Amino acid sequence: MAGRIREQNRALILQAAERLFADKGFEGTTIQAIADLAGLPKSNVHYYFPTKERLYRTILEEILQTWLAAFGRFGEHDDPAEALASYVIAKVRLSFARPHASRIFAREMLNGGHLISPFLEDELRPWVEERAAVLRAWTRQGRLRPVDPHHLLFTIWAATQTYADFAPQIRAIEGGDPDAASQAAIARSVAEIVVRACVAQDDPGASTSRRGQAASAA
Amino acid sequence: MAGRIREQNRALILQAAERLFADKGFEGTTIQAIADLAGLPKSNVHYYFPTKERLYRTILEEILQTWLAAFGRFGEHDDPAEALASYVIAKVRLSFARPHASRIFAREMLNGGHLISPFLEDELRPWVEERAAVLRAWTRQGRLRPVDPHHLLFTIWAATQTYADFAPQIRAIEGGDPDAASQAAIARSVAEIVVRACVAQDDPGASTSRRGQAASAA
DNA sequence: ATAGAACCTGACCACACGGTCAAGAATCAT
DNA sequence: ATGATTCTTGACCGTGTGGTCAGGTTCTAT
Protein backbone atom coordinates (compact mmCIF):
# COMPACT_ATOMS: atom_id res chain seq x y z
CA MET A 1 0.00 0.00 0.00
CA ALA A 2 2.75 2.32 -0.86
CA GLY A 3 1.71 5.93 -1.11
CA ARG A 4 -1.83 5.54 0.07
CA ILE A 5 -1.37 7.80 3.05
CA ARG A 6 0.52 10.18 0.85
CA GLU A 7 -2.28 10.42 -1.67
CA GLN A 8 -4.94 10.81 0.93
CA ASN A 9 -3.21 13.58 2.84
CA ARG A 10 -2.19 15.36 -0.32
CA ALA A 11 -5.80 15.34 -1.42
CA LEU A 12 -6.93 16.63 1.95
CA ILE A 13 -4.47 19.51 1.80
CA LEU A 14 -5.23 20.36 -1.82
CA GLN A 15 -8.92 20.45 -1.12
CA ALA A 16 -8.54 22.76 1.86
CA ALA A 17 -6.05 24.97 0.07
CA GLU A 18 -8.18 25.33 -3.06
CA ARG A 19 -11.06 26.56 -1.01
CA LEU A 20 -9.01 29.02 1.00
CA PHE A 21 -7.07 30.34 -1.96
CA ALA A 22 -10.38 30.90 -3.71
CA ASP A 23 -11.92 32.63 -0.71
CA LYS A 24 -9.02 34.77 0.44
CA GLY A 25 -6.37 34.71 -2.25
CA PHE A 26 -2.77 33.63 -2.06
CA GLU A 27 -1.57 36.31 0.35
CA GLY A 28 -4.71 36.13 2.42
CA THR A 29 -4.34 32.43 3.05
CA THR A 30 -2.04 31.11 5.76
CA ILE A 31 -0.51 27.66 5.92
CA GLN A 32 -1.92 27.43 9.41
CA ALA A 33 -5.44 27.97 8.10
CA ILE A 34 -4.95 25.32 5.44
CA ALA A 35 -3.64 22.92 8.06
CA ASP A 36 -6.59 23.60 10.36
CA LEU A 37 -9.13 23.08 7.59
CA ALA A 38 -7.40 19.89 6.54
CA GLY A 39 -7.24 18.70 10.15
CA LEU A 40 -3.45 18.39 10.16
CA PRO A 41 -0.64 20.14 11.97
CA LYS A 42 1.08 22.88 10.05
CA SER A 43 4.36 20.99 9.76
CA ASN A 44 2.59 18.19 7.99
CA VAL A 45 1.48 20.52 5.25
CA HIS A 46 5.09 21.50 4.71
CA TYR A 47 6.02 17.84 4.59
CA TYR A 48 3.93 17.34 1.47
CA PHE A 49 4.35 20.77 -0.09
CA PRO A 50 7.69 22.36 0.72
CA THR A 51 6.51 25.91 0.08
CA LYS A 52 3.24 27.76 -0.12
CA GLU A 53 4.01 28.74 -3.68
CA ARG A 54 4.56 25.12 -4.72
CA LEU A 55 1.21 24.18 -3.21
CA TYR A 56 -0.49 27.04 -5.01
CA ARG A 57 1.09 26.20 -8.35
CA THR A 58 0.06 22.58 -8.02
CA ILE A 59 -3.52 23.70 -7.62
CA LEU A 60 -3.30 26.19 -10.43
CA GLU A 61 -1.91 23.60 -12.86
CA GLU A 62 -4.79 21.29 -12.18
CA ILE A 63 -7.27 24.11 -12.71
CA LEU A 64 -5.79 25.05 -16.06
CA GLN A 65 -6.01 21.42 -17.17
CA THR A 66 -9.67 21.32 -16.20
CA TRP A 67 -10.33 24.57 -18.00
CA LEU A 68 -8.67 23.30 -21.14
CA ALA A 69 -10.66 20.09 -21.11
CA ALA A 70 -13.91 22.03 -20.86
CA PHE A 71 -13.17 24.27 -23.80
CA GLY A 72 -15.02 22.19 -26.32
CA ARG A 73 -14.00 21.80 -29.91
CA PHE A 74 -16.91 22.71 -32.15
CA GLY A 75 -16.06 22.76 -35.84
CA GLU A 76 -17.22 24.24 -39.08
CA HIS A 77 -19.69 21.51 -39.83
CA ASP A 78 -21.48 21.60 -36.51
CA ASP A 79 -24.76 23.38 -36.12
CA PRO A 80 -23.99 26.89 -34.79
CA ALA A 81 -26.93 27.15 -32.43
CA GLU A 82 -26.38 23.73 -31.02
CA ALA A 83 -22.61 24.05 -30.75
CA LEU A 84 -22.72 27.44 -29.05
CA ALA A 85 -25.54 26.47 -26.73
CA SER A 86 -23.82 23.32 -25.57
CA TYR A 87 -20.55 25.19 -25.11
CA VAL A 88 -22.23 27.84 -23.00
CA ILE A 89 -24.09 25.23 -20.99
CA ALA A 90 -20.89 23.29 -20.36
CA LYS A 91 -19.17 26.44 -19.14
CA VAL A 92 -22.02 27.39 -16.83
CA ARG A 93 -22.03 23.86 -15.47
CA LEU A 94 -18.32 24.10 -14.79
CA SER A 95 -18.82 27.40 -12.99
CA PHE A 96 -21.31 25.81 -10.66
CA ALA A 97 -19.42 22.55 -10.32
CA ARG A 98 -16.07 24.08 -9.47
CA PRO A 99 -16.60 27.62 -8.23
CA HIS A 100 -13.35 27.59 -6.28
CA ALA A 101 -11.38 26.82 -9.41
CA SER A 102 -13.10 29.58 -11.31
CA ARG A 103 -12.35 32.12 -8.62
CA ILE A 104 -8.71 31.14 -8.36
CA PHE A 105 -8.48 31.59 -12.11
CA ALA A 106 -10.16 34.98 -11.82
CA ARG A 107 -7.76 36.05 -9.09
CA GLU A 108 -4.87 35.05 -11.27
CA MET A 109 -6.20 37.35 -13.97
CA LEU A 110 -6.65 40.21 -11.55
CA ASN A 111 -3.09 39.72 -10.37
CA GLY A 112 -1.87 40.40 -13.87
CA GLY A 113 -1.88 36.88 -15.23
CA HIS A 114 1.86 36.43 -14.88
CA LEU A 115 1.64 32.82 -13.76
CA ILE A 116 -0.81 31.85 -16.46
CA SER A 117 0.48 33.82 -19.41
CA PRO A 118 2.19 30.71 -20.85
CA PHE A 119 -1.17 29.00 -20.68
CA LEU A 120 -2.90 31.94 -22.30
CA GLU A 121 -0.36 32.11 -25.10
CA ASP A 122 0.22 28.43 -25.78
CA GLU A 123 -3.17 26.92 -25.14
CA LEU A 124 -5.91 29.52 -25.07
CA ARG A 125 -4.80 31.65 -27.96
CA PRO A 126 -4.53 28.81 -30.52
CA TRP A 127 -7.88 27.49 -29.36
CA VAL A 128 -9.39 30.93 -29.85
CA GLU A 129 -7.95 31.27 -33.32
CA GLU A 130 -9.36 27.92 -34.35
CA ARG A 131 -12.77 28.76 -32.96
CA ALA A 132 -12.67 32.21 -34.53
CA ALA A 133 -12.03 30.57 -37.88
CA VAL A 134 -15.08 28.37 -37.36
CA LEU A 135 -17.23 31.36 -36.44
CA ARG A 136 -16.08 33.28 -39.49
CA ALA A 137 -16.82 30.28 -41.68
CA TRP A 138 -20.31 30.09 -40.26
CA THR A 139 -20.78 33.76 -41.00
CA ARG A 140 -19.59 33.30 -44.59
CA GLN A 141 -22.11 30.50 -44.94
CA GLY A 142 -24.84 32.80 -43.69
CA ARG A 143 -25.49 30.68 -40.64
CA LEU A 144 -24.09 33.23 -38.22
CA ARG A 145 -24.58 36.96 -38.07
CA PRO A 146 -21.44 38.98 -38.57
CA VAL A 147 -20.07 39.25 -35.04
CA ASP A 148 -16.51 39.80 -33.95
CA PRO A 149 -15.47 36.29 -32.88
CA HIS A 150 -13.14 37.47 -30.14
CA HIS A 151 -15.71 39.68 -28.48
CA LEU A 152 -18.29 36.97 -28.72
CA LEU A 153 -16.00 34.55 -26.92
CA PHE A 154 -15.06 37.15 -24.30
CA THR A 155 -18.73 37.74 -23.68
CA ILE A 156 -19.45 34.03 -23.36
CA TRP A 157 -16.62 33.50 -20.92
CA ALA A 158 -17.57 36.50 -18.87
CA ALA A 159 -21.26 35.68 -18.78
CA THR A 160 -20.69 32.10 -17.73
CA GLN A 161 -17.97 32.67 -15.16
CA THR A 162 -19.81 35.48 -13.46
CA TYR A 163 -22.02 32.91 -11.73
CA ALA A 164 -18.99 31.57 -9.90
CA ASP A 165 -16.85 34.67 -9.55
CA PHE A 166 -19.54 37.15 -8.59
CA ALA A 167 -21.69 34.78 -6.57
CA PRO A 168 -22.36 37.36 -3.84
CA GLN A 169 -23.85 39.68 -6.41
CA ILE A 170 -26.10 36.96 -7.76
CA ARG A 171 -27.02 36.00 -4.22
CA ALA A 172 -27.95 39.56 -3.31
CA ILE A 173 -30.18 39.99 -6.36
CA GLU A 174 -31.73 36.55 -6.56
CA GLY A 175 -32.10 36.28 -2.81
CA GLY A 176 -30.05 33.14 -2.36
CA ASP A 177 -27.84 30.58 -4.02
CA PRO A 178 -29.40 28.87 -7.03
CA ASP A 179 -30.39 25.26 -6.55
CA ALA A 180 -29.86 22.57 -9.15
CA ALA A 181 -33.01 23.48 -11.06
CA SER A 182 -32.09 27.16 -11.12
CA GLN A 183 -28.63 26.30 -12.33
CA ALA A 184 -30.09 24.46 -15.28
CA ALA A 185 -32.42 27.37 -15.97
CA ILE A 186 -29.50 29.79 -15.83
CA ALA A 187 -27.50 27.69 -18.24
CA ARG A 188 -30.41 27.64 -20.68
CA SER A 189 -31.08 31.33 -20.25
CA VAL A 190 -27.50 32.38 -20.95
CA ALA A 191 -27.23 29.97 -23.85
CA GLU A 192 -30.39 31.46 -25.28
CA ILE A 193 -29.02 34.98 -25.01
CA VAL A 194 -25.85 33.98 -26.80
CA VAL A 195 -27.62 32.05 -29.54
CA ARG A 196 -30.09 34.82 -30.18
CA ALA A 197 -27.28 37.34 -30.27
CA CYS A 198 -25.43 35.78 -33.14
CA VAL A 199 -27.15 32.88 -34.84
CA ALA A 200 -28.82 33.88 -38.08
CA GLN A 201 -32.59 33.67 -37.96
CA ASP A 202 -32.89 32.02 -41.34
CA ASP A 203 -30.09 29.55 -40.87
CA PRO A 204 -30.36 27.46 -44.03
CA GLY A 205 -28.62 24.38 -42.67
CA ALA A 206 -30.23 23.96 -39.31
CA SER A 207 -33.61 22.98 -38.05
CA THR A 208 -35.01 26.02 -36.32
CA SER A 209 -37.21 23.91 -34.13
CA ARG A 210 -34.22 22.71 -32.20
CA ARG A 211 -33.73 26.17 -30.80
CA GLY A 212 -37.27 26.22 -29.59
CA GLN A 213 -36.52 24.27 -26.45
CA ALA A 214 -34.47 27.07 -25.03
CA ALA A 215 -37.61 28.76 -23.94
CA SER A 216 -38.43 31.66 -21.72
CA ALA A 217 -37.15 32.01 -18.22
CA ALA A 218 -39.11 32.77 -15.13
CA MET B 1 -4.67 77.89 2.45
CA ALA B 2 -5.57 75.50 5.16
CA GLY B 3 -5.69 71.90 4.08
CA ARG B 4 -3.96 72.24 0.76
CA ILE B 5 -1.08 70.01 1.71
CA ARG B 6 -3.55 67.67 3.29
CA GLU B 7 -5.63 67.31 0.15
CA GLN B 8 -2.63 66.88 -2.08
CA ASN B 9 -0.98 64.18 -0.01
CA ARG B 10 -4.24 62.40 0.55
CA ALA B 11 -4.80 62.31 -3.18
CA LEU B 12 -1.28 61.03 -3.76
CA ILE B 13 -1.77 58.23 -1.29
CA LEU B 14 -5.22 57.32 -2.54
CA GLN B 15 -3.98 57.13 -6.11
CA ALA B 16 -1.05 54.90 -5.23
CA ALA B 17 -3.17 52.72 -2.98
CA GLU B 18 -5.94 52.25 -5.53
CA ARG B 19 -3.47 50.99 -8.05
CA LEU B 20 -1.75 48.62 -5.66
CA PHE B 21 -4.97 47.30 -4.14
CA ALA B 22 -6.19 46.62 -7.67
CA ASP B 23 -2.96 44.91 -8.70
CA LYS B 24 -2.21 42.87 -5.60
CA GLY B 25 -5.27 42.94 -3.39
CA PHE B 26 -5.64 44.10 0.18
CA GLU B 27 -3.40 41.50 1.78
CA GLY B 28 -0.88 41.63 -1.04
CA THR B 29 -0.36 45.35 -0.65
CA THR B 30 1.94 46.77 2.02
CA ILE B 31 1.81 50.25 3.46
CA GLN B 32 5.47 50.51 2.58
CA ALA B 33 4.71 49.86 -1.09
CA ILE B 34 1.97 52.48 -1.08
CA ALA B 35 4.34 54.96 0.54
CA ASP B 36 7.05 54.24 -2.01
CA LEU B 37 4.69 54.65 -4.95
CA ALA B 38 3.35 57.87 -3.48
CA GLY B 39 6.88 59.12 -2.80
CA LEU B 40 6.34 59.52 0.93
CA PRO B 41 7.72 57.86 4.04
CA LYS B 42 5.59 55.13 5.53
CA SER B 43 4.80 57.10 8.68
CA ASN B 44 3.29 59.83 6.61
CA VAL B 45 0.77 57.43 5.15
CA HIS B 46 -0.30 56.53 8.66
CA TYR B 47 -0.62 60.19 9.48
CA TYR B 48 -3.38 60.60 6.91
CA PHE B 49 -4.95 57.17 7.18
CA PRO B 50 -4.60 55.66 10.64
CA THR B 51 -5.04 52.07 9.47
CA LYS B 52 -4.71 50.14 6.26
CA GLU B 53 -8.33 49.10 6.50
CA ARG B 54 -9.49 52.71 6.80
CA LEU B 55 -7.53 53.61 3.70
CA TYR B 56 -9.00 50.68 1.84
CA ARG B 57 -12.54 51.50 2.86
CA THR B 58 -12.13 55.09 1.81
CA ILE B 59 -11.17 53.91 -1.65
CA LEU B 60 -13.96 51.36 -1.77
CA GLU B 61 -16.60 53.92 -0.82
CA GLU B 62 -15.56 56.17 -3.65
CA ILE B 63 -15.67 53.29 -6.10
CA LEU B 64 -19.18 52.30 -5.08
CA GLN B 65 -20.32 55.89 -5.57
CA THR B 66 -18.84 55.91 -9.06
CA TRP B 67 -20.47 52.60 -9.86
CA LEU B 68 -23.83 53.83 -8.71
CA ALA B 69 -23.58 56.98 -10.78
CA ALA B 70 -22.83 54.96 -13.90
CA PHE B 71 -25.80 52.68 -13.53
CA GLY B 72 -28.06 54.62 -15.78
CA ARG B 73 -31.77 54.93 -15.34
CA PHE B 74 -33.58 53.89 -18.49
CA GLY B 75 -37.32 53.77 -18.20
CA GLU B 76 -40.33 52.15 -19.74
CA HIS B 77 -40.81 54.79 -22.41
CA ASP B 78 -37.25 54.74 -23.72
CA ASP B 79 -36.36 52.89 -26.85
CA PRO B 80 -35.08 49.46 -25.78
CA ALA B 81 -32.31 49.18 -28.34
CA GLU B 82 -31.05 52.67 -27.69
CA ALA B 83 -31.35 52.46 -23.91
CA LEU B 84 -29.58 49.11 -23.66
CA ALA B 85 -26.87 50.08 -26.13
CA SER B 86 -26.05 53.30 -24.35
CA TYR B 87 -26.04 51.54 -21.00
CA VAL B 88 -23.63 48.90 -22.28
CA ILE B 89 -21.44 51.52 -23.91
CA ALA B 90 -21.31 53.55 -20.71
CA LYS B 91 -20.27 50.48 -18.75
CA VAL B 92 -17.56 49.53 -21.20
CA ARG B 93 -16.28 53.09 -21.12
CA LEU B 94 -16.14 52.97 -17.34
CA SER B 95 -14.21 49.69 -17.48
CA PHE B 96 -11.58 51.28 -19.66
CA ALA B 97 -11.58 54.60 -17.82
CA ARG B 98 -11.17 53.16 -14.33
CA PRO B 99 -9.80 49.65 -14.58
CA HIS B 100 -8.35 49.80 -11.08
CA ALA B 101 -11.74 50.57 -9.62
CA SER B 102 -13.32 47.71 -11.52
CA ARG B 103 -10.74 45.25 -10.31
CA ILE B 104 -11.02 46.32 -6.69
CA PHE B 105 -14.75 45.79 -6.99
CA ALA B 106 -14.16 42.38 -8.54
CA ARG B 107 -11.78 41.43 -5.74
CA GLU B 108 -14.38 42.44 -3.22
CA MET B 109 -16.80 40.04 -4.87
CA LEU B 110 -14.29 37.23 -4.89
CA ASN B 111 -13.64 37.82 -1.21
CA GLY B 112 -17.27 37.08 -0.49
CA GLY B 113 -18.68 40.57 -0.80
CA HIS B 114 -18.89 41.12 2.94
CA LEU B 115 -17.83 44.75 2.80
CA ILE B 116 -20.19 45.60 -0.04
CA SER B 117 -23.23 43.58 0.86
CA PRO B 118 -24.97 46.68 2.24
CA PHE B 119 -24.36 48.33 -1.10
CA LEU B 120 -25.64 45.31 -2.96
CA GLU B 121 -28.77 45.11 -0.84
CA ASP B 122 -29.61 48.80 -0.46
CA GLU B 123 -28.53 50.23 -3.77
CA LEU B 124 -27.99 47.57 -6.39
CA ARG B 125 -30.98 45.41 -5.65
CA PRO B 126 -33.59 48.16 -5.84
CA TRP B 127 -32.00 49.42 -9.02
CA VAL B 128 -32.18 45.94 -10.48
CA GLU B 129 -35.82 45.54 -9.54
CA GLU B 130 -36.73 48.83 -11.19
CA ARG B 131 -34.82 47.93 -14.32
CA ALA B 132 -36.31 44.44 -14.35
CA ALA B 133 -39.76 46.01 -14.27
CA VAL B 134 -38.86 48.14 -17.27
CA LEU B 135 -37.56 45.12 -19.16
CA ARG B 136 -40.70 43.15 -18.42
CA ALA B 137 -42.83 46.06 -19.55
CA TRP B 138 -40.93 46.20 -22.81
CA THR B 139 -41.50 42.49 -23.25
CA ARG B 140 -45.23 42.89 -22.62
CA GLN B 141 -45.29 45.62 -25.25
CA GLY B 142 -43.63 43.26 -27.70
CA ARG B 143 -40.56 45.44 -27.96
CA LEU B 144 -38.29 43.00 -26.16
CA ARG B 145 -38.01 39.27 -26.49
CA PRO B 146 -38.89 37.32 -23.38
CA VAL B 147 -35.60 37.19 -21.53
CA ASP B 148 -35.00 36.79 -17.83
CA PRO B 149 -34.18 40.36 -16.77
CA HIS B 150 -31.77 39.31 -14.03
CA HIS B 151 -29.72 37.09 -16.27
CA LEU B 152 -29.65 39.72 -18.94
CA LEU B 153 -28.26 42.25 -16.49
CA PHE B 154 -25.74 39.75 -15.12
CA THR B 155 -24.58 39.08 -18.64
CA ILE B 156 -24.25 42.77 -19.42
CA TRP B 157 -22.26 43.45 -16.27
CA ALA B 158 -20.01 40.49 -16.84
CA ALA B 159 -19.42 41.22 -20.51
CA THR B 160 -18.54 44.84 -19.88
CA GLN B 161 -16.37 44.40 -16.81
CA THR B 162 -14.36 41.60 -18.32
CA TYR B 163 -12.38 44.15 -20.31
CA ALA B 164 -11.05 45.61 -17.08
CA ASP B 165 -10.96 42.57 -14.83
CA PHE B 166 -9.54 40.06 -17.29
CA ALA B 167 -7.30 42.44 -19.19
CA PRO B 168 -4.42 39.92 -19.38
CA GLN B 169 -6.71 37.51 -21.18
CA ILE B 170 -7.79 40.13 -23.66
CA ARG B 171 -4.18 41.17 -24.10
CA ALA B 172 -3.06 37.61 -24.79
CA ILE B 173 -5.75 37.06 -27.40
CA GLU B 174 -5.80 40.44 -29.07
CA GLY B 175 -2.05 40.81 -28.93
CA GLY B 176 -1.94 43.99 -26.91
CA ASP B 177 -3.97 46.55 -25.05
CA PRO B 178 -6.78 48.13 -27.05
CA ASP B 179 -6.24 51.74 -28.07
CA ALA B 180 -8.96 54.36 -28.00
CA ALA B 181 -10.37 53.32 -31.35
CA SER B 182 -10.47 49.66 -30.35
CA GLN B 183 -12.20 50.57 -27.14
CA ALA B 184 -14.95 52.30 -29.05
CA ALA B 185 -15.22 49.30 -31.37
CA ILE B 186 -15.45 46.96 -28.40
CA ALA B 187 -18.18 49.06 -26.84
CA ARG B 188 -20.16 48.96 -30.08
CA SER B 189 -19.55 45.26 -30.54
CA VAL B 190 -20.73 44.29 -27.08
CA ALA B 191 -23.71 46.61 -27.30
CA GLU B 192 -24.64 45.01 -30.60
CA ILE B 193 -24.48 41.53 -29.10
CA VAL B 194 -26.73 42.56 -26.25
CA VAL B 195 -29.23 44.36 -28.43
CA ARG B 196 -29.44 41.50 -30.88
CA ALA B 197 -29.88 39.07 -28.05
CA CYS B 198 -33.02 40.60 -26.68
CA VAL B 199 -34.53 43.36 -28.74
CA ALA B 200 -37.48 42.15 -30.76
CA GLN B 201 -37.09 41.98 -34.51
CA ASP B 202 -39.44 44.26 -36.41
CA ASP B 203 -41.80 41.66 -37.84
CA PRO B 204 -41.73 38.19 -36.45
CA GLY B 205 -42.51 35.62 -39.11
CA ALA B 206 -41.30 37.72 -41.98
CA SER B 207 -37.81 37.11 -43.32
CA THR B 208 -35.44 39.12 -41.24
CA SER B 209 -32.74 41.20 -42.75
CA ARG B 210 -29.47 39.89 -41.51
CA ARG B 211 -27.64 43.15 -41.55
CA GLY B 212 -27.98 46.77 -40.76
CA GLN B 213 -29.09 46.34 -37.19
CA ALA B 214 -25.97 47.76 -35.64
CA ALA B 215 -26.73 49.49 -32.42
CA SER B 216 -26.56 53.21 -32.55
CA ALA B 217 -23.35 54.03 -30.74
CA ALA B 218 -23.37 57.29 -28.95
C1' DA C 1 11.84 -9.83 13.94
C1' DT C 2 14.23 -6.10 12.13
C1' DA C 3 16.20 -2.73 9.22
C1' DG C 4 15.00 1.00 6.62
C1' DA C 5 11.90 4.04 4.62
C1' DA C 6 8.06 6.96 5.03
C1' DC C 7 5.56 9.82 7.88
C1' DC C 8 4.56 13.03 11.85
C1' DT C 9 5.05 17.12 14.73
C1' DG C 10 6.26 20.49 18.57
C1' DA C 11 9.64 23.77 19.17
C1' DC C 12 11.99 27.08 17.07
C1' DC C 13 13.77 31.01 13.91
C1' DA C 14 14.33 35.04 10.92
C1' DC C 15 11.80 38.41 9.07
C1' DA C 16 8.37 41.54 7.27
C1' DC C 17 4.34 43.62 8.48
C1' DG C 18 1.00 47.16 10.54
C1' DG C 19 1.15 50.37 13.72
C1' DT C 20 3.15 53.76 17.57
C1' DC C 21 5.58 57.59 19.22
C1' DA C 22 8.12 61.52 20.30
C1' DA C 23 10.80 65.01 18.70
C1' DG C 24 11.50 68.22 15.19
C1' DA C 25 10.18 71.23 10.94
C1' DA C 26 6.98 73.95 8.50
C1' DT C 27 2.96 76.67 8.36
C1' DC C 28 -0.60 79.62 10.07
C1' DA C 29 -3.34 83.08 12.82
C1' DT C 30 -3.05 87.20 15.19
C1' DA D 1 7.14 87.98 16.31
C1' DT D 2 5.29 84.16 18.50
C1' DG D 3 2.47 80.72 20.12
C1' DA D 4 -0.49 77.17 18.24
C1' DT D 5 -1.44 74.00 14.86
C1' DT D 6 -0.37 70.99 11.32
C1' DC D 7 2.78 68.17 9.14
C1' DT D 8 7.02 65.05 8.84
C1' DT D 9 9.83 61.21 9.90
C1' DG D 10 13.27 57.83 11.79
C1' DA D 11 13.38 54.64 15.33
C1' DC D 12 11.01 51.33 17.51
C1' DC D 13 7.66 47.37 18.88
C1' DG D 14 4.56 43.29 19.06
C1' DT D 15 2.73 39.97 16.28
C1' DG D 16 1.98 36.61 12.80
C1' DT D 17 4.06 34.54 8.99
C1' DG D 18 6.53 30.96 6.03
C1' DG D 19 9.72 27.83 6.72
C1' DT D 20 13.31 24.59 9.35
C1' DC D 21 14.68 20.80 12.01
C1' DA D 22 15.58 17.05 14.94
C1' DG D 23 13.69 13.41 17.19
C1' DG D 24 10.06 10.34 17.29
C1' DT D 25 6.37 7.04 15.42
C1' DT D 26 4.35 4.11 12.06
C1' DC D 27 4.50 1.39 8.12
C1' DT D 28 6.59 -2.04 4.84
C1' DA D 29 9.45 -5.34 2.78
C1' DT D 30 12.11 -9.36 3.68
For the stretch B103-137, pLDDT in tens is: 999 999 999 999 999 999 999 999 999 999 999 99
Domain with CATH 1.10.10.60 in chain A: 1-50
Domain with CATH 1.10.357.10 in chain A: 57-210
The partner residue sitting opposite A198, judged by closest CB among B145, B161, B193, is B193
Give the CATH architecture of domain B1-50: Orthogonal Bundle (1.10)
Taking residues B197-203, report their average pLDDT: 75
| pLDDT at residue number A135 | 97
Rounded, the Å distance between the CA of B13 and C1' of D2 is 33
Chain B touched by A201 (CB under 8 Å) = yes
pLDDT over 70, % of chain B: 91
Share of chain B above pLDDT 90, in %: 85
Residues of A in contact with B128 (CB under 8 A): 173
Judge if the beta carbon of B183 is closer than 7 A to nucleic acid strand D. no
Q: Does A101 touch chain B (CB under 8 A)?
A: no
Query: Chain A contact for B190, CB < 8 A?
Result: yes
Long-range contacts at A39-42 (CB < 8 A, ≥ 24 apart): A39/A12, A40/A9, A40/A12, A40/A13
Average pLDDT, chain B: 91
Cα angle A66, A67, A72; round to 5:
105
CATH topology of domain A57-210: Tetracycline Repressor; domain 2 (1.10.357)
Mapping DSSP to helix (H, G, I), strand (E, B) and coil, where does residue B144 land? strand
Q: What is the pLDDT of residue A212?
A: 39
Nearest to B147 by CA among A171, A195, A15: A195
Between CA A56 and C1' C5 the distance (Å) reads: 28
Angle at A96 between CA B99 and CA A186, to 5 degrees: 85
In sequence order, the 6+-apart residues with CB closer than 8 A to the CB of B64 are B105, B116, B119, B123
Q: Write down the pLDDT at residue B200.
A: 84
pLDDT at B57 over 90: yes
Residues in chain A predicted with pLDDT less than 70, given as ranges, are 1-3, 202-218
**First vs last C-alpha separation in chain A:** 53
Q: Does nucleic acid strand C have an atom less than 7 angstroms from the CB of B45? A: no
Provide the whole-model pTM: 0.92
Contact status of B71 with chain A (Cβ, < 8 Å):
no
From chain B residues 34-63, the ones with a CB under 8 A of any chain A CB are: none
Q: According to the model, what pLDDT value does residue B133 have?
A: 98
Q: How confident is the model at residue B202 (pLDDT cuts 50, 70, 90)?
A: low
- Provide the H-helix boundaries in B29-174: 31-38, 42-48, 52-69, 80-97, 99-110, 117-119, 125-140, 149-165, 167-174
**Is residue B212 over pLDDT 90?**
no
Coil vs helix vs strand at B199 = strand
Nearest protein residue by Cα to C1' of nucleotide C11: A43
CA B154/CA B177 separation, integer angstroms: 25
Residue B48 predicted with pLDDT over 50: yes
Give me the residues of A, 149-168, that contact B with CB < 8 A: 150-155, 157-159, 161-163, 165-168
Residues A49 and B128: their CA atoms lie apart, in Å, by 46
3-state SS track over chain A:
CCCHHHHHHHHHHHHHHHHHHHHHHHHHCCHHHHHHHHCCCHHHHHHHCCCHHHHHHHHHHHHHHHHHHCCCCCCCCCCHHHHHHHHHHHHHHHHHHCHHHHHHHHHHHHCCCCCCHHHHHHHHHHHHHHHHHHHHHHHHCCCECCCCHHHHHHHHHHHHHHHHHCHHHHHHHHCCCCCHHHHHHHHHHHHHHHHHHHECCCCCCCCHHHHHHCCCCC
Mean pLDDT for the stretch of residues B167-183: 97
What are the chain A neighbours of B25 within 8 Å (beta carbons)?
Answer: 25, 27-28, 107, 110-111
pLDDT at A202: 58
pLDDT of residue B159: 97
Question: pLDDT value at position A71?
Answer: 82
